[in-house]
């Protein structure tokens, strides 16, 4: 007979406990334990496996090692983030803030694949079919190969998939889908886990590329247990400020490609538009002749991106100075300030320091260290930097400037945008020939870089 068992599960990490706890023992989050009902069916014997398969183990040498076939969309930025296109049978999770444009991106992608002759099924649990049609009219995403369904019952969704037999499936969103046999509310840990596992089986067995839309928490992480991200093949985050028109698509997990690539889109009245040259977008409002402003060449995957780095150093009114950074790790900022104080003799102990990456981009590579040091020194001395300079390089604790990877691509991007000079590590000049239309200044210490940039 079936027996109802009460348990408590964490909505953040999925940790289960027999009684309610204020603090989750797994992830340490407070007030995340929710009550769930579990149906336990007693069975006789232990010989019944959970998954039955007729496949036998085989030598890895005998397995075909060809490349995974991919379905390319018309969006080059999306193809770059996915590693070249959509892999049939893959399970993709897309997360982002409400209203950021997740449904718009997937509806445009669905239309692009349907226009190539693929059968696409778009299942929405948050909008009616009429609302989806109105949005498709606005985006120009109308084709007879695109099927739309408003359903949240997992059994009914399975019947629709069996009837349509799609090549591409979109579930918007996974938190609205529920399994009737699971005695929990839609969006709970048990429901999300069970529904995701069901869609994973459908994708793998039938070879259907499936995209799940996930809600995010206030911290920006995908809501639900962390197990959700481990089950899928690819995790994408759709980021951006709602008050700005551009959006960033970033991969944090990808079994079929790199996780360093980003795709940049611009939101308009007709939907999302790809940004072919993001450097021009991030530098379009850069002020000239202002202290604390520098341009840094950063690598986002295989693509160089030039962004503006702004710094403000001012006398503090507090017992301890404030250190705030946006777009750069504040620990890295504290390290650079310590190097400027110890190696360059700058007295910053009574100065507030603010560092910002213009445009809302997040830079997490060490090649931005030198530009940050020049920006802070420029604001502290109130000496403007030259508007035609691009700076990049890693800063060590002894004040040396270390070499960075892909210096040639960074220099070519700076030349393409009309910059006249590049201040970079001297050791990165080996093995390639700089372009003739731009001046290269190789430096080995921070003092040399400040003399070249502010001298």
Consult the annotation and say whether 83 binds a ligand. Answer: no
Give the separation between CA 139 and CA 135, rounded to whole angstroms.
Answer: 6
- Tokens 């690598």 identify what position? 299
Which residue, among 212, 209, 210, 208, has the nearest Cα to 192 in the 3D structure?
A: 212
User: What confidence score (pLDDT) does residue 46 get?
Assistant: 39
Q: Are 166 and 119 in contact (CB under 8 A)?
A: yes
User: What confidence score (pLDDT) does residue 223 get?
Assistant: 66
Compute how many other C-beta atoms are within 10 angstroms of the C-beta atom of residue 361: 21
SS3 156: helix
Compute how many other C-beta atoms are within 10 angstroms of the C-beta atom of residue 332: 18
Q: What is the dihedral of CA 256, 101, 198, 224, to 10 degrees?
A: 100
Consult the annotation and say whether 64 binds a ligand. Answer: no
User: What confidence score (pLDDT) does residue 120 get?
Assistant: 96
Consult the annotation and say whether 369 binds a ligand. Answer: no
SS3 105: helix
User: What confidence score (pLDDT) does residue 224 get?
Assistant: 65
User: What confidence score (pLDDT) does residue 186 get?
Assistant: 85
Neighbour order of strands in the sheet with 246-254 = 146-150, 120-124, 168-172, 209-214, 91-96, 234-239, 246-254, 262-268, 271-274
* Residues 6 or more apart whose Cβ sits within 8 Å of residue 99: 242
Residue 168, preceding peptide bond in cis (omega within 30° of 0): no
Give the separation between CA 299 and CA 286, rounded to whole angstroms.
Answer: 20
User: What confidence score (pLDDT) does residue 47 get?
Assistant: 39
Give the separation between CA 292 and CA 379, rounded to whole angstroms.
Answer: 4
Consult the annotation and say whether 97 binds a ligand. Answer: yes
- List b or e across 128-145, with b for residues whose CB sees 16 or more CB atoms inside 10 angstroms: eeeebeebbeebebebeb
Cα–chain center distance at 296: 21
Consult the annotation and say whether 100 binds a ligand. Answer: yes
Which residue, among 305, 291, 244, 270, has the nearest Cα to 450 in the 3D structure?
A: 291
Distances 180 to 11, 154, 183 between C-alpha atoms, Å: 20, 8, 7
Compute how many other C-beta atoms are within 10 angstroms of the C-beta atom of residue 423: 26
Residue 426: what are its φ and ψ, rounded to 5°? -65, -30
42-47 long-range Cβ contacts below 8 angstroms, 24+ apart: 42/1, 42/3
Kindly tell me the number of DSSP H helices and DSSP E strands found in the chain.
Answer: 11, 21
- Tokens 């620990």 identify what position? 331
Mean pLDDT by 10 residues, the chain (455 residues): 72 82 88 74 40 70 78 90 92 90 94 94 93 92 93 94 95 91 82 91 93 81 72 90 78 87 86 86 85 93 89 92 92 95 93 90 91 96 94 96 94 92 94 90 96 91
Written as six digits, the tokens of 76 are 């080059």
Consult the annotation and say whether 48 binds a ligand. Answer: no
Give the separation between CA 416 and CA 420, rounded to whole angstroms.
Answer: 10
Which residue, among 431, 366, 433, has the nearest Cα to 393 in the 3D structure?
A: 366
SS3 374: helix
Consult the annotation and say whether 289 binds a ligand. Answer: no
SS3 191: helix
Distances 359 to 78, 220, 445 between C-alpha atoms, Å: 20, 18, 29
- Which residues share a beta bridge with 303? 300
SS3 349: coil
SS3 324: strand
Distances 273 to 75, 101, 299, 434 between C-alpha atoms, Å: 9, 12, 22, 34
- Which residues share a beta bridge with 211? 92, 170
Consult the annotation and say whether 96 binds a ligand. Answer: yes
């Amino acid at each position: 007979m079936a027996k109802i068992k009460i348990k408590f599960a964490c909505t953040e990490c999925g940790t289960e406990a027999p009684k309610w706890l204020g603090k989750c023992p797994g992830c340490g989050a407070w007030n995340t334990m929710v009550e769930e009902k579990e149906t336990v069916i007693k069975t006789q014997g232990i010989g019944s496996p959970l998954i039955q398969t007729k496949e036998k183990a085989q030598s890895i040498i005998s397995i075909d090692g060809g490349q995974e076939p991919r379905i390319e969309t018309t969006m080059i930025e999306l193809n770059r983030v996915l590693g070249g296109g959509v892999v049939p049978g893959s399970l993709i999770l897309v997360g982002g803030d409400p209203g950021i444009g997740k449904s718009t991106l997937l509806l445009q992608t669905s239309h692009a694949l349907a226009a190539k002759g693929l059968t696409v099924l778009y299942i929405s649990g948050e909008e009616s079919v009429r609302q989806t049609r109105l949005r498709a009219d606005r985006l120009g995403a109308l084709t007879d190969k695109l099927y739309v369904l408003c359903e949240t019952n997992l059994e009914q969704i399975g019947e629709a998939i069996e009837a349509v037999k799609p090549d591409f499936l979109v579930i918007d969103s996974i938190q609205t889908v529920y399994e009737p046999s699971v005695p929990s509310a839609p969006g709970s840990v048990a429901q999300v886990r069970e529904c995701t596992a069901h869609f994973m089986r459908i994708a793998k067995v039938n070879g259907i590329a499936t995209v799940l839309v996930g809600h995010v928490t206030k911290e920006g992480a995908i809501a639900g247990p962390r197990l959700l991200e481990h089950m899928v093949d690819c995790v994408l985050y759709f980021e951006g400020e709602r008050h700005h028109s551009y959006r960033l698509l970033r991969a944090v997990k990808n079994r079929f490609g790199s996780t360093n690539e980003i795709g940049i889109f611009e939101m308009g009245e007709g939907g999302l538009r790809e940004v072919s040259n993001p450097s021009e977008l991030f530098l379009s409002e850069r002020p000239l002749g202002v202290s604390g402003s520098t341009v840094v060449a950063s690598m986002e995957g295989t693509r160089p991106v030039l962004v503006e780095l702004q710094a403000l150093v001012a006398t503090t009114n507090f017992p301890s100075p404030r250190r705030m950074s946006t777009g750069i790790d504040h620990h890295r900022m504290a390290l650079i300030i310590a190097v400027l104080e110890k190696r360059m003799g700058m007295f910053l102990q009574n100065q507030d320091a603010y560092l910002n990456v213009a445009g809302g981009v997040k830079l997490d590579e060490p090649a931005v260290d030198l530009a940050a040091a020049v920006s802070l020194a420029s604001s502290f001395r109130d000496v403007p930097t030259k508007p035609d300079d691009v700076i990049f390089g890693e800063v060590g604790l002894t004040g040396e400037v270390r070499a960075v990877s892909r210096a040639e691509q960074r220099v070519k991007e700076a030349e393409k945008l009309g910059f006249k000079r590049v201040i970079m590590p001297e050791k990165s000049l080996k093995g390639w020939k700089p372009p003739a239309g731009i001046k290269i200044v190789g430096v080995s210490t921070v003092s040399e870089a400040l003399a070249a940039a502010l001298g």
